């Protein structure tokens, strides 16, 4: 069993940090799921590059959803411990980490930017469909 020292012992600061990290988590989850939905809805984005981008967004959503809720719960608990029992192995963690660390920077400048014209155009088309 590991004992986490945390970022602070001050309860007020922990509540502020809880709010900040919850906001960041919700934005991350919303952005990733929105990108997946956008890629699935717009046929112009049905290319291998966007397929891999949606897969990366899915992995990012899963990866952050496996870590952040536990961290948020630990902000509110008095006893902050991590059990050694886990459903996955260290080797699986290493493979996911390497996959995430290598692919994320590789795809980031190409397609993950909000300045990407194809993403902007697809978002406009989906908004027009929903609005009409």
Residue closest to 79 by CA, chosen among 4, 12, 1: 4
Question: What is the model's pLDDT at position 49?
Answer: 84
Q: How confident is the model at residue 2 (pLDDT cuts 50, 70, 90)?
A: very low
Instruction: Inform me whether the pLDDT recorded for 42 exceeds 50.
Output: yes
Domain-wise residue ranges, the chain: 2-131
Return the pLDDT at 26: 92
Say how far apart CA 126 and CA 41 lie, in whole Å. 7
């406009």: which residue's tokens? 124
Q: Residue 50: which pLDDT band, with cuts at 50, 70 and 90?
A: confident
Tokens read off for 104: 């994320």
What is the pTM (predicted TM-score) of this model? 0.60
């Amino acid at each position: 069993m590991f004992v986490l020292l945390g970022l602070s012992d001050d309860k007020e600061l922990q509540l502020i940090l809880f709010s900040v990290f919850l906001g960041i988590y919700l934005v991350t989850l919303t952005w990733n799921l929105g990108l997946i939905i956008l890629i699935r809805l717009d046929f112009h984005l049905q290319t291998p590059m966007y397929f891999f981008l949606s897969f990366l967004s899915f992995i990012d959503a899963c990866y952050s959803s496996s870590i952040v809720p536990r961290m948020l719960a630990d902000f509110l608990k008095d006893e902050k411990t991590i059990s050694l029992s886990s459903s996955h192995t260290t080797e699986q963690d290493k493979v996911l980490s390497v996959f995430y660390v290598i692919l994320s920077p590789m795809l980031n400048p190409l397609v993950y930017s909000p300045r990407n014209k194809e993403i902007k155009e697809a978002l406009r088309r989906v908004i027009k469909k929903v609005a009409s």
